[in-house]
Structure 1
């Protein structure tokens, strides 16, 4: 297989994960993205699970609904790298629509990896919003400083410094920092294969 063909296949294989990740950043359900893009929830699910490659028209609708450019989903500029080394002083900030949450990238991007991680800085009284999130995959959170509260599948979990929580994100979930001091955590998102 030529490098070009491998590059094309790599871009196509990463597309579904990028759609799922962008949807998760906004805390949207499949139905919410479907409503905004004019596509069916089933079609979006197939794209995210790599069961279907979208047409350019469908991809343009998804991109517009998510506020992204089409090139975001098919960018081939970064070569496949099986190892990512990120120095503490060189961490990039990750996009999040959640107020009071800052995410510093500590991992490689989805595609060659199944896990994406961030050091999360959570302001006092910040939360994930009024509606629980649901998306494919898993999350693992380790609180390094302060405390956080999660609700997963209707059950509350209070996390203090040193505590961890690992859960499937197909369960409705939300988070908050109900205290008056900032919290800091390592937050891993594991995409489903």
Structure 2
């Protein structure tokens, strides 16, 4: 049974718990106060990049906005494949592989769908360091002003705060598994 999660309400609750003003968060995210207000009320459907920006400003993992806080925790921390939290756009799908977001490390699967699909328009940074493994496909990873090509089986370390983005060079899809510490998504 899937219970719908209210992303806007979660954003509002986190913002208020951190004693941050709506105007302050909106300004740091590069959106208007009225836009953030509409997101918090559930009257606006923000882009994934906007949600990522809000998560960075609030200093919480992105998936925190998509998890039902009432869900009971499993003593053995099992996460079945069909219970994974998934964020999907036309070109990128993220799946949370970690069974508990309250850990010091987070594991994700990212699928880039279609040739030249990108994770973002420009490289973005986050405070967590990252280890990634390309399971299938071929990608270009841009870190700052430099780029590297990864083929299936290649792995890479991305330092904390290094602006980066992924671009699919495969004709269909590329699948990457990455771990981030501390959790960022």
Give the TM-score band, short-chain normalised: 0.5 to 0.7
Residue 7 of structure 2 is aligned to residue 35 of structure 1: no
Q: Extract structure 1 runs of 4+ deviating beyond 6 A.
A: 59-62
How many angstroms apart in 2 are the aligned matches of 1:156 and 1:139? 16
Indicate conservation of the 8 Å contact 2:141/2:165, yes or no: yes
Computed over aligned residues only, the root mean square deviation of the Cα atoms, in angstroms, reads 3.8
Structure 1 residue 168 and structure 2 residue 159: aligned?
yes
- Counterparts of 1:1-193 in structure 2 under 5 Å? 15=14, 33-36=28-31, 38=33, 63=40, 67=46, 72=65, 76-79=69-72, 83-88=76-81, 90-97=82-89, 99-110=90-101, 112-123=102-113, 124-191=115-182
Deviations 1:160-181 (A, max 9, x none): 1111112124111111012213
Structure in which a larger fraction of residues adopt helix: 1
Structure 1, residues 125-157: CA drift from partner, whole Å, max 9, x if none?
Answer: 211232111222122210111111101122212
Figure out how many residues of one structure are paired with residues of the other and give that number: 144
- C-alpha contact (below 8 Å) 2:105/2:183 kept by paired residues: no
TM-score, normalised with respect to structure 2: 0.59
Runs (5+) with no aligned partner, structure 1: 1-10, 20-29, 39-58
Where does the alignment leave 5 or more consecutive residues of structure 2 unmatched?
A: 1-9, 19-24, 52-63
